[in-house]
Amino acid sequence: MHDIRMVRDAAESLRAGMRRRGKADTLGPLVERAIALESERRSAIQATEEKKAARNAASQEVAKRKKAGQAADDLLASARALGDEITALEQRQHAAQSELDEILIGLPNIPLDDVPDGDESANVVLRTWGTPRAAESVTPHWDVGERLNLFDLARAAKISGSGFIVYRGAGARLQRALISFMLDLHTQQHGYEEAWVPLFVNRESMLATGQLPKFEEDMYALRDDPLFAIPTAEVPITNLLRDELLDNARLPLAMTAHSACFRREAGAAGKDTRGLLRVHQFDKVELVRWVAPEESAAQHELLTGHAETVLQQLDLPYRVVLLAAGDTGFASAKTYDLEVFAPGVGKWLEVSSCSNFTDFQARRANIRFRAAAGEKPRFVHTINGSGLALPRVVAAILEHHQRPDGTIAVPTALQPYFGAASIG
RNA sequence: GGACAGGUGGCUGAGUGGUUGAAGGCACCGGUCUCGAAAACCGGCGUACCCGUAAGGGUAUCGUGAGUUCGAAUCUCACCCUGUCCGCCA
């Protein structure tokens, strides 16, 4: 959500932001409408408050007269008339306000200056770590999984439907090992506090982090309760501090959580859906930081580094992609995708999306801080990223660490958690 | 799910329908005192919005939303949340 003052005083940068996302056609008119509504809202407020001030003065005078034992019938009549005018003006104000709110809650964040313009084709590969393995002689993970009995997608489809996973045996253990490894890394080396959070959250939480109102069809909703299954632990973690004023808080605050994530993937049918690549339920370790505005760019780099460390310790080649404005998520001002190379699939797989949301989520969620006593509260900046999403990491391990004899080498850092050096 | 009790500022805790933005306490900030600190004492101290270059003025805000009233933290209704007890389940 944008500062209402932006609509008034910096409308051009708002227009430019929508343009850079390639949404000038659809969102441009909304911006113009918002500007008109804001001026309407303000004139209504002015008129309303003037009348209210008059009514308050009259009321005080009534009190005074009653105390003195005098009659106040004339005042009562005029105050009653004022009340009617106020009601009408308030209706005008509320109408403008609610239409304005609806527009503002639906406008995406403004990309930072160093984000390239354009759509997905303008994404920039910033760096690559490790050496992608040649695709020949590497079996895709779905074949490996079947041969080594690591997961059972057919039975998962039977009990739930396509797009669900059943891990078993070493496959189940591998995922559990990865979760423990990642959580330990982030809590012990990177300074995150571990959390365990609800998998179902209310509408307010989804609005605060930006999943709603635009992406309702992407989420699972419960039938009998007004709750949504979380698409990422970002939602419950960020909302931990919703409507809070962090007084004397020493920022940054950093939290990590492992959770299941649920995505309907509506409209994604048929696209990279084989094996573990795109599923309705998956596990993920999430990283969230609440930071001071002036630090958010540096903190974004820091968090991205924390996610990269996971891939480095798992000895998996990856690249860091800076997303172009048109490919950057609704709430994000700048996003780095981490893509691991899976030689069996022959593709770079997104395993983490590290975003700087600036004050966009904080304003929606009303998360403020006071840097020092006596200072005005300000909105924090929020930053988050996966560290990492599990199924694609599993896929990459099964492919990149595949030996000629068909067994899988378990990365050294993972061996204490997995309990063996090899699968198969 | 049922019955009670309760939701007031960063925290705690008073509050009779009429200078209550809201006593007191804690925390915090400034000052006096001190070599320095602590203690004590004095003063200050919510948030958001509107008008204004500013000084300043105004409006709203006591869980949320409606209502009664000239006027609501205070009265009415609905909803949400918390606590306790009962029931149910693990």
- The ipTM of this complex is 0.83
Position A244 scores a pLDDT of 80
A121: CB partners within 8 A, 6+ apart: A324
**CATH, residue A389:** 3.30.930.10
Averaged pLDDT, A60-89: 82
Please give the nucleotide, over all strands, whose C1' is closest to the CA of residue A43: B50
Q: Is the CB of A45 under 7 A from strand B?
A: yes
A372 assigned to some structural domain: yes
Q: Are residues A275 and A338 in the same domain?
A: yes
Residues A56, A145: one domain? no
Rg (Cα) of chain A, in Å, rounded?
27
Provide, in whole angstroms, the distance separating residue A214's CA from nucleotide B60's C1'. Answer: 31
Bases in strand B with any atom closer than 7 Å to a protein CB: 10, 18-19, 28-29, 47-51, 58-60, 70-71
Is the CB of residue A226 inside 7 Å of nucleic acid strand B? no
- Least confident among A304-313, A371-380, A401-410: A371-380
Instruction: Please report, rounded to whole angstroms, the spatial distance between the CA atom of protein residue A134 and the C1' atom of nucleotide B54.
Output: 70
Buried b (16+ CB within 10 A) or exposed e, A234-251: bbbbbbbbbeeebeebeb
Give me the CA A247–C1' B79 separation in Å, rounded.
Answer: 31
Does residue A169 sit in the same domain as residue A203? yes
CB of A50 under 7 A from strand B? yes
User: What's the pLDDT at A247?
Assistant: 66
Co-location of A266 and A310 in the same domain: yes
Give the CA A39 to C1' B70 distance in Å: 31
Same-domain pairing of A395 and A249: yes
| Domain stops at, among A45, A77, A106 | A106
Give the residue from A3, A40, A11 showing the smallest Cα distance to A27: A11
The C1' atom of B89 and the CA atom of A199 lie apart, in whole Å, by 21
* Strand B closer than 7 A to residue A66 Cβ: yes
Mean pLDDT of A153-165: 93
With bands split at pLDDT 50, 70 and 90, how would you rate the model's confidence at A78? confident
B31 C1' to A373 CA distance, Å: 17
Total structural domains in chain A?
2
Strand partners, A124: A322
For residue A5, give the nucleotide whose C1' atom is nearest its CA: B49
A332 falls in which pLDDT band (50, 70, 90)? very high
Q: Per the domain annotation, does A115 fall within a domain?
A: no
Tell me, in Å, how far CA of A374 is from C1' of B24? 23
pLDDT score of A412 more than 70 = yes
Q: Specify whether A206 is located in the same domain as A261.
A: yes
- Helices (DSSP H) in A166-285: which residue ranges? 169-184, 203-209, 234-239
The answer, as to whether pTM is greater than 0.90, is yes
Residues A209 and A250 in one domain: yes
User: Is A111 contained in some domain?
Assistant: no
Among the three residues A52, A73, A106, which one is the final residue of a domain in this structure?
Answer: A106
Q: How far is the CA of A240 from the C1' of B76 (A)?
A: 35
Domain coverage including residue A73: 4-106
Residues A236 and A349 in one domain: yes
pLDDT > 90: percent of chain A: 62
Check whether A250 has a pLDDT greater than 80: no
pLDDT tens digit sequence for A142-154: 999 999 999 999 9
Specify whether A23 is located in the same domain as A68: yes
Instruction: Tell me which protein residue sits closest to nucleotide B59, measuring alpha carbon to C1'.
Output: A49
Where does the pLDDT of residue A269 fall: very low under 50, low under 70, confident under 90, or very high at 90 and above?
Answer: low
User: Is residue A42 predicted with pLDDT exceeding 70?
Assistant: yes
pLDDT at A98: 85
The domain that holds A77 is classified in CATH as 1.10.287.40
Is residue A368 included in any domain, yes or no?
yes
Confidence label for A268 from pLDDT (cuts 50, 70 and 90) = low
The answer to whether A319 CB is within 7 Å of strand B is no
Residues A67 and A132 grouped into a single domain: no
Confidence at A158, pLDDT banded by 50, 70, 90: very high
Average pLDDT over residues A104-130: 95
- pLDDT bin (cut points 50, 70, 90) of residue A79 is confident
Q: How confident is the prediction for chain A on average, in pLDDT?
A: 91
Residues A78 and A169 in one domain: no
Which nucleotide comes closest to A83 if you measure CA to C1'?
B70
DSSP-derived 3-state class of residue A291: strand
Q: What is the DSSP string of A297-334?
A: HHHHHHHHHHHHHHHHHTT--EEEEEPPGGGS-TT-SE
Exposure string over A117-132, b if 16+ CB within 10 A, otherwise e = eeeeebbeeeeeeeeb
Last residue in a domain, options A106, A129, A155: A106
pLDDT digits (tens, 9 = 90+) for A55-73: 988 888 888 888 777 777 7
The yes-or-no verdict on residue A9 having pLDDT over 80 is: no
Whether A91 and A210 share a structural domain:
no
Q: Is the pLDDT of residue A385 over 90?
A: yes
Please determine, for residue A137, whether its predicted confidence score (pLDDT) is greater than 90: no
